[in-house]
Structure 1
Amino acid sequence: MADDPRRAAALRAAFTRAGGAVRTRASDAVLAFGARFGGLPRLGVEVALAIVLLVPMVAIRIAEADRLGDRFLASLVLSVLIAGSLIARRRAPLASYLVGSAGLIVESLWIGPGQVTSYVNLIGLYSLGLYASRRKALVGPVVLLPGVLAYFSTETGASETAPVGVLFVWLLAWAVGYSFARRREQMEAHRRLMRREAIINERVRIARELHDVIGHTVNAMLVQAGAGRMVLDTDPERAREMLAGVERTGRSALVELDRVLGVLRSDDDPEPGLDDLDAVVGPLVDAGMTVRVDIEPAARGLPRTLELSAYRIVQEALTNAVKHGRARSADVVIRVRDGALVVTVHDDGRGPAPGYRPNRGLLGITERVGVFGGTVEHGRDPGAGFTLRATLPMSVSGDPDRAVEAEATA
């Protein structure tokens, strides 16, 4: 007796394993059949469906050949017409359904209702709701009513409620196809919108990168060239150094541009970070500008997205200081405060006019900081100069979607 529970448990385990194996094999068979069926051409599938329905329709008419008499050949032609209409149910769903319904009406009134014809009409109505446009699909319920009336007009032995039940089931099939089609349209519209947003975001990213790279280097070259022109007569050696600096900056710009274009095609190339700020500061110092950079040790070794954003913010702020403020000196201070990276750039330039509006550079900085959920403050100092302060949270508010967006934007 003590062995009975163990034997029963063993049998249950064996049956469970056997059932799992059967379910696995059945699932594999269904998947294999679906893959094989899905790989068939659509036209071949429609032709096969029409043939499958046509065979019993013809068999029924052959069995009724004596009753039909002279109408036998016409019944076969109508069967081929009705079943064959399904071949175009995807490409021309409205025409397919109209042809099938017309054949059903003629067959019902002249030959007699076909037992399979109604199911062909059901498939055609469902296909109309699924594959036709909104306007064309609405024709289905209108055409359905005369078809049902014609079918039951000569049907003997049918209950009075049968037409109502058929009408309900057929309308339900049409509604299912119609709702699937509208859902498919919504999903396609959503995919198009997502693709459009991705393209717009990529264009903004490209514009921001090119603005940051080209804007800074071109302005640095202009400053160096202008300084060289002013000392050309009085200090030729200094002017020669300035021109050499212009050449170096230009070559650096080409390298940076090539790197940016490469990054836009691949994520394998390294991005600049805080350790690369000399590439931004160097050309300005060569042109006679004094730039002091103070980076707190805790701000080193940050995630790539943060370092790249901080690099671009400093680059754009110094470009604005030279281009718009005609600054002679600037201070760059980078600190870590309360779990955020704080980038402050102050210059001694003339500052913007009262009521100024941010240009593309400041808007680009705002976009970069906004991705991290940070803040940007900028404005003219009471005395002279301009100060920009950007705060970038080092953790993106615990939002994984925003973290991914920050990675893509950087």
Structure 2
Amino acid sequence: MSSPPYTRAIPAVPLTRRPVPALRAVPAGRWDAALAGVFLLLMVVERIGAADRLHGGLPLALALSAAVAGPLAVRRTRPLAGYLVGAAALSAEALFVLPSPLSPYADLVALYSLGLYAPRRRAWFGPFAALLGMAAYFADLGRAYPVIPAGVLFLWLLGWAVGYGTARRSEQREAARLLLRREVVAEERARLARELHDSVGHTLNVVLVQAGAARRLLDREPERTRELLRGMEHTGREALDDLDRVLGLLRRGAGGWDEAEGTEGAAPQPGIADLERLAERLGGAGPRVRVRIDPAARRVPRSLDVSAFRIVQEALTNTVKHAGARSVGVTVRCAAGRLTVEVCDDGRGVPAGYTPGRGLLGVAERVSVLGGRVEHGPGEPGGFRLRAELPVP
């Protein structure tokens, strides 16, 4: 296996981090505690200013103000419990003490937080609790001016709906992000599996064919056997190079990779120009392979170049493994904006009840990604035929 390209010592460079704004560094819980504190301070000042109208009920009013404002400190962590406590204190304040003009706004913030931070089922307690709280708060005023409580209730329900809708949209975005991530991971796995199957799987099959031929010729043709062994050695090195390249793709990790390009420092992937070498290597111990390449096909984009090679490689691998063919014809031509790849052999043909295996499914995936079409099945004079058409951009 070739040595990794990164052998030069790299001097250490101090990492610099972007300064985090001071406001963002403050935990959300402290902001909530500060919000509760501000509401409580304002409500205490208002209650003290209205002490003459409370008729000795200032201690109870202050306690209820704390019960209304205090739950805002846990509006993210305990939104339902906090809202129910605040709404109950607001109702008690309206029924037994002089209502504070600030308490409803604290209740509105708590109701909005319930829609925003509570789970879906718990959030739906908000509208019902708000309805009961409004009925208690406007118990006296509602008889004379029913429009006022109706308008306030509408405003409160609107605040809850804004929080609830924002939370649901955030959930949908997160679900879409996770789904996209799973799809990307699955696609990367499929591409890596296809790469291993196409490159390493093919070369190992060639090694097996060469090994079987060498075993049969070992006693009768020692010189021929030596040639086959040299071919096995060369093919094995190619398999290790392919494996090293695919492992390089894995090392690149989240940075992504382009199937048409090799990793940095590794040999580029083979293309149409390498089909003659592929046929020569396979013909040393397997069927005779004839390759015909249209000159225009050698100038297609790199993605099509690599894909055409992999399609032929998979077709020849199937021929070696299953067909028992004596000869194979490979034709690659480019005309009318389409690259056509066709592989035909004179082997046993298609068995009864045949279904495509991983290799042919990988070919179909590769062709589909490029917007082409593929067909495979019995050849006209017999054997097996695979034909793929890829649009040339």
TM-score, length basis structure 1: 0.83
Counterpart in the other structure of 1:316: 314
* Offset from partner CA, 1:236-288 (integer Å, 9 cap, x none): 22222222222221121011111122134444443322223355334312214
User: SS state of the match for residue 76, structure 2?
Assistant: coil
TM-aligned CA deviation for residue 114 of structure 1: 1.0
Counterpart in the other structure of 2:165: 179
Amino acid at match of 2:304: L
Unaligned runs of 5+ in 1: 1-33, 396-410
Question: What are the within-5 Å matches in structure 2 for residues 157-168 of structure 1?
Answer: 159-168=145-154
CA distance in 1: counterparts of 2:300 and 2:380, whole angstroms: 34
Counterpart in the other structure of 1:89: 75
CA distance in 2: counterparts of 1:381 and 1:346, whole angstroms: 7
TM-aligned CA deviation for residue 48 of structure 1: 1.9
Contact 2:288 / 2:327 at 8 angstroms: preserved in 1? yes
Question: What are the within-5 Å matches in structure 2 for residues 137-156 of structure 1?
Answer: 137-153=123-139
Amino acid at match of 1:55: L
CA distance in 2: counterparts of 1:242 and 1:221, whole angstroms: 9
Q: CA 1:383/1:241 → structure 2, altered by over 3 Å: closer, same or farther?
A: same
Contact 1:271 / 1:304 at 8 angstroms: preserved in 2? no
Structure (1 or 2) with the greater helix fraction:
1
Counterpart in the other structure of 1:110: 96
Length, aligned pairs only: 362
TM-score, length basis structure 2: 0.87
Higher mean C-alpha deviation, range 215-224 or range 178-187:
178-187
Counterpart in the other structure of 2:242: 256
Amino acid at match of 2:181: R
Counterpart in the other structure of 1:369: 367
Amino acid at match of 1:40: V
User: SS state of the match for residue 323, structure 2?
Assistant: coil
CA distance in 2: counterparts of 1:110 and 1:245, whole angstroms: 98
Q: CA 1:288/1:152 → structure 2, altered by over 3 Å: closer, same or farther?
A: closer
* Offset from partner CA, 1:14-53 (integer Å, 9 cap, x none): xxxxxxxxxxxxxxxxxxxx96644432112112211222
CA distance in 2: counterparts of 1:216 and 1:374, whole angstroms: 23
User: SS state of the match for residue 153, structure 1?
Assistant: coil
Q: CA RMSD in A?
A: 2.1
Higher mean C-alpha deviation, range 312-321 or range 299-308:
299-308
Alignment counterpart, residue 345 of structure 1, candidates 343, 346, 361: 343
Counterpart in the other structure of 1:291: 289
Amino acid at match of 1:281: A
User: SS state of the match for residue 300, structure 1?
Assistant: helix
Alignment counterpart, residue 241 of structure 1, candidates 227, 232, 240: 227
Percentage of matched positions with identical amino acids: 54
TM-aligned CA deviation for residue 73 of structure 1: 2.3
Contact 1:113 / 1:154 at 8 angstroms: preserved in 2? no
Question: What are the within-5 Å matches in structure 2 for residues 184-195 of structure 1?
Answer: 184-195=170-181
CA distance in 2: counterparts of 1:76 and 1:193, whole angstroms: 50
